[in-house]
Structure 1
Amino acid sequence: MPVRPPRPPLPPLNALRAFEAAARLGSFSRAAEEIGVTQGAIAQQVRHLEAFLGLTLFRRLPQGVALTEAAQEARPRLSAAFDALALTVHDLKASHAGRALVITALPCIAQLWLSPRLPALQRAFPDLAISISAMEEPPAGRHDSFDLALFYLAKPPADALALGEDSLLPVCAPALARALRTPADLAGQTLLHDAVWRSDWARWLRHVSTHGIDAGRGPSYSLYALALDAALGGAGVLLGRRSLVAPYLADGRLVTPFIDELPSGDRLTMLFPPAGKPHPRRAEVVAWLEAHS
């Protein structure tokens, strides 16, 4: 009977994971943020791995850390191994038709575009569990587990599905709109801003050739939904994205005092994982969302 030698012992998976993340990201703090632990925990796991291997993996510098030559050589293969492991786990989960379909979205899209559609989506797929998470940046694919992502992109990749270009237009409460006849009347109004898209007012004012208005004045909100709430409450005029404010225009809670719209330069885009088996119901959900966009 053939005898196979036992596999060599491996260090704890957590230690390997901490090293791979710190090496790939070039920072213990960024690795801690990605994994969801403290920076001290990452450093401790790296020390455990160094003790197991009997060699130094990082040079400790006054400003951060740097990989040793041996660690630089091993890092790409270890990252590839973790990617393969993640893909295998994803495929195992994807083979189960009853698992939740994971949708990742920009916070404002999750709150203002996706959330209003969820009741109808659930009625259309009553036996499908749907999980939604908000992220500020599109998922990287290899290190983020998702089935479908929704983000605004200026240049969607070839394998994405763009739902159409968005547009920018001033919106406000109906009572406030009565004082606005031309864009020049905005000089006497409070301009509301989303912190990420703070330059949008300047772009729109240039588009309508209106000068002499300080496009940067007015409060800025870290969440688009907060800026929208301020507009609904009559606190000022918001430069709205049509994809996000359309329901409020339709029911009259907001109005647009001017007819001028400016193409935003980006598109509401559906992104998909770059590899692995898709969720068994993903194609159906994508088709439904596209039909209801």
Structure 2
Amino acid sequence: MGSFMRHLPPPAWLRSFEAAARLGGFTAAAAELGLTPAAVSQQIRSLEARLGYPLFHRLPRGVALTELGQSYLPAVRRAFEDLASATAGLFGVAQGRPLVVRAPPSFAVLCLAPRISAFRALHPGIPLRLCSSTWADTAPEDRVDVDIRYGDGRWPVEDVRPLTEPGSVVVAPPGIDFGPDPLAVLAPMLGQGAIHIIGCDSFWEGFARLHGIPETSVGRAVAVDSSHAALEMVAAGLGVALMARDLARPFLAQGRISVEPRLTLPHDQAHFVLVPKTTDPRPEARLFADWLVAEMAALGPLVSGPVPSTRGSI
């Protein structure tokens, strides 16, 4: 055995440390690892004795990492991830268990589903399960390996990367020529009614203030709970909507809507991909996230009028 191995703590102690740090307590870590809380506590005490320093503050309810524990945790996680990645790379994915990817319904339909065949062509040995959830805080029925969310990106997860540009753009029925004064063209359409997306209700108010439009002049045609539904209504001529640029691409490519890049609302909301931390990290999750980030980054700027589909995937 190499000399460096003699100085390493047993992996079981490190797994208990990682789980307790992530879950905030020995009882929760024990339930995940299939041990008793006393066994987890003993393993962590043994680890602290081996290292010569405390890793946790014992609190009335749960535990909290010491400063040294906070510094040690990322290295322990990376070690487990590297080991899992090497194992999967050499011996394949575990028992064909599907990689569970969760996404908002509109992103799943408009951005993700058209690209899945490209991922499958690159990685035919990784089975996928795609599920959707309108609200990011909805508890999933199954473990989620890759989570795609819409928000400001400030979630308590270490691996969070942007997929789309923040901000919203006005989408209108097909054939609209906004000309040199897009606000003048938009005004009568707003009076007839704007389509509101539930969860983004304040966007039209912010747009009106930014562009000097009286908020009372923005009518409400209908409220929907997804950008996909809003796009279908815009394409049918029901009204105009504000939404993430990249969600509008498929409809724009098909000539079903008009987009005016000068009519935008800057804000910090965008789509992000998250890879939750677990005690048994799946390297396929990081592989999928890396691939999706590259796919979305390859999209060109959104322009008005129909545009060709990007990379043949939409």
Which TM bucket (shorter chain)? 0.5 to 0.7
**Within-5 A mapping of 1:46-61:** none
**Within-5 A mapping of 1:4-15:** none
Task: Compute the RMSD of aligned alpha carbons.
Answer: 3.2
SS in 2 for 1:165: coil
Which residue type is aligned with residue 103 of structure 2?
A
Q: Deviations over 1:95-136 (max 9, x none)?
A: 606321110112222222212222222222223211011123
- Call closer, same or farther: CA 1:171–1:143 in 2, change over 3 Å: closer
Q: Deviations over 1:26-52 (max 9, x none)?
A: xxxxxxxxxxxxxxxxxxxxxxxxxxx
Confirm or deny that 1:192 pairs with 2:195.
yes
Equivalent of 1:279, from 277, 282, 288? 282
Confirm or deny that 1:289 pairs with 2:287.
no
Residue in structure 1 matched with residue 113 of structure 2 by the alignment: 115
- Call closer, same or farther: CA 1:85–1:140 in 2, change over 3 Å: farther
Equivalent of 2:212, from 209, 216, 219? 209
SS in 1 for 2:221: coil
SS in 2 for 1:245: helix
Per the TM alignment, residue 231 of structure 1 is displaced from its structure 2 partner at its CA by 0.9
Which residue type is aligned with residue 117 of structure 1?
R
Residue in structure 2 matched with residue 163 of structure 1 by the alignment: 163
Rounded to whole Å, the distance in 2 between the matches of 1:178 and 1:200 is 21
Per the TM alignment, residue 216 of structure 1 is displaced from its structure 2 partner at its CA by 5.4
Per the TM alignment, residue 143 of structure 1 is displaced from its structure 2 partner at its CA by 8.5
Unaligned runs of 5+ in 1: 1-75
Residue in structure 2 matched with residue 134 of structure 1 by the alignment: 132
Residues 174 and 258 in structure 2, CA contact (< 8 A), matched pair in contact too: yes
Confirm or deny that 1:82 pairs with 2:85.
no
Q: Deviations over 1:189-229 (max 9, x none)?
A: 32111122122111112221222544352201123322211
Rounded to whole Å, the distance in 1 between the matches of 2:241 and 2:102 is 26
Residue in structure 2 matched with residue 38 of structure 1 by the alignment: none
SS in 2 for 1:229: helix
Rounded to whole Å, the distance in 2 between the matches of 1:223 and 1:215 is 20
Residues 162 and 293 in structure 2, CA contact (< 8 A), matched pair in contact too: no
Residues 150 and 270 in structure 2, CA contact (< 8 A), matched pair in contact too: yes
Which residue type is aligned with residue 184 of structure 1?
A
Confirm or deny that 1:232 pairs with 2:181.
no
Residues 101 and 130 in structure 1, CA contact (< 8 A), matched pair in contact too: yes
Residues 168 and 261 in structure 1, CA contact (< 8 A), matched pair in contact too: yes
Q: Deviations over 1:61-85 (max 9, x none)?
A: xxxxxxxxxxxxxxx7754443334
- Normalised TM-score (structure 2): 0.58
Residues 150 and 269 in structure 1, CA contact (< 8 A), matched pair in contact too: yes
Percent of residue pairs identical: 25
Residues 154 and 266 in structure 1, CA contact (< 8 A), matched pair in contact too: yes
Rounded to whole Å, the distance in 2 between the matches of 1:249 and 1:138 is 27
Unaligned runs of 5+ in 2: 1-24, 36-83, 297-314
Residue in structure 1 matched with residue 143 of structure 2 by the alignment: 145
